[in-house]
Amino acid sequence: MSAIEFVVRASAGQVSSDTIHSDQFETVVPMGAGEEISLHLR
């Protein structure tokens, strides 16, 4: 099983991290306006 780690950064500096597992058919990453996402792909 492979997974994708990600981090969401808010404009105020808050950081939230989680993992998307490959066995999930569909995944929604919660993000708000002005936030940025970084995916750890390998």
Q: What is the mean pLDDT of each run of 10 residues along the chain (42 residues)?
A: 85 88 78 89 76
For residue 31, what pLDDT is reported? Answer: 83
Which CA distances in Å does 2 have to 15, 19, 24, 29? 23, 10, 11, 17
For residue 1, what pLDDT is reported? Answer: 55
pTM: 0.68
Number of Cα atoms under 13 Å in the Cβ half of residue 10: 8
The DSSP letter of residue 27 is -
